[in-house]
A = this chain, B = another copy of it.
Amino acid sequence: MNIDILAPWNRLARENVAVGFVDTLLRGTGQVMFQNNPITGLLFLVGIFYNSYQLGIAAVIGLLTSTVAAMVLGADRNLIRAGLFGFNGVLTGIGLAFFIQLQWSPVLVVYIIFGAVLSTIVFMALANFFSTWDMPALTAPFVLATWLFLFAVLLFANLHTGVLVNPALPKPNAAVYPILRPSPTDLTTGAGVTVVNLLQSFFRGVGEVFFQNNLVTGIIFLIAILINSRVSALFAALGSIVGLVTAQWLLGVDGYATYIGLYGFNGVLCGIATGGVFYVITWKSGIYALLCVLVGTVVMASLTAFLSPLGMPALTAPFVLTTWLFLLPKAGFHVLQPVALAEVAAPEQVRRAFLEKEQALPRDTLPTGQ
Query: How would you classify the secondary structure of chain A's contact residues: helix, strand, loop or mixed?
Result: helix
Contact A156 B176 (CB under 8 A): yes
A328 to B177, Cβ gap below 8 A? no
The reply to whether A298 and B148 form a contact with Cβ atoms under 8 Å apart is yes
Q: Which of A59-67, A158-166, A204-212, A339-347 contacts B (4 or more CB under 8 A)?
A: A158-166
Q: How large is the interface on A (under 10, 10 to 19, 20 to 34, 35 or more residues)?
A: 35 or more
Pairwise interchain contact B299-A152, C-beta atoms closer than 8 A = yes
Report yes or no: B250 in contact with A325, Cβ–Cβ below 8 A: no
A250 touches B107 (CB 8 A): yes
A328-353 residues with Cβ-Cβ distance < 8 A to B are 328-330, 332-336
Q: Which residue, of A122, A305, A332, has the highest number of chain B Cβ atoms within 10 A?
A: A332
A228 to B129, CA, bound (A): 32
Contact, CB under 8 Å: A294 / B128: no
Chain B minimum-CB-distance residue to A332:
B124
Residues of B within 8 A of A304 (CB): 155
CB nearest neighbor in B for A144: B325
A368 vs B295: C-alpha distance when bound (angstroms): 45
Contact residues of A between 155 and 185, Cβ < 8 Å to B: 155-161, 165-173, 176-178
Compute how far the CA of A214 lies from the CA of B250 in the bound complex, rounded to whole angstroms: 33
A34 contacts the other chain (CB 8 A) = no
A156-B252, A170-B310, A325-B125 are known contacts. Are A73 and B302 too (CB-CB below 8 A)? no
User: How long is the Cα–Cα vector from A153 to B144 in the complex, in angstroms?
Assistant: 25
Residue in chain B with minimal CB distance to A295:
B118
* Residue contact A167 to B170, C-beta cutoff 8 Å: yes
Residue of B nearest to A330 (CB): B128
Query: Is the Cβ of A302 less than 8 Å from the Cβ of B147?
Result: yes
| A190 contacts chain B at the CB level, 8 A cutoff | no
Q: A21 — which chain B residues lie within 8 A by C-beta?
A: none
Chain B residues within 8 Å of A129, by CB: 133, 328
Compute how far the CA of A133 lies from the CA of B129 in the bound complex, rounded to whole angstroms: 7
Q: Which residues of B contact A110 (CB under 8 A)?
A: 250
The CA-CA distance from A295 to B141 in the complex, in Å, is 14
B-chain residues with CB within 8 Å of residue A326 when the two chains form the complex: 121, 125
| B73→A333 contact, CB < 8 A | yes
Is the pair A252, B169 in contact by a Cβ cutoff of 8 Å? Answer: no
Among residues of B, the one whose C-beta sits closest to the C-beta of A255 is B157
B251 touching A305, Cβ below 8 Å: no
Contact between chains at B178 and A172 (CB < 8 Å): no
Q: CA of A55 to CA of B242 in the docked complex: distance in angstroms?
A: 30
Which residues of A pack against B, CB within 8 Å? 72-76, 107, 110-111, 114, 117-118, 121-122, 124-129, 132-133, 144, 147-161, 165-173, 176-178, 250-254, 288, 291, 294-295, 298-306, 308-311, 324-330, 332-336, 368-369
Name the 10 nearest CB pairs between A and B, nearest first: A74-B334, A157-B252, A125-B328, A124-B329, A152-B301, A158-B252, A152-B302, A151-B302, A73-B333, A157-B176
Between A and B, 26 residue pairs with Cβ closer than 8 Å are A73-B336, A75-B332, A114-B294, A114-B295, A121-B325, A125-B327, A125-B328, A125-B329, A149-B298, A151-B305, A152-B299, A154-B171, A155-B251, A155-B253, A155-B254, A155-B304, A156-B252, A156-B301, A157-B251, A159-B251, A160-B173, A167-B171, A170-B310, A172-B311, A308-B310, A309-B309
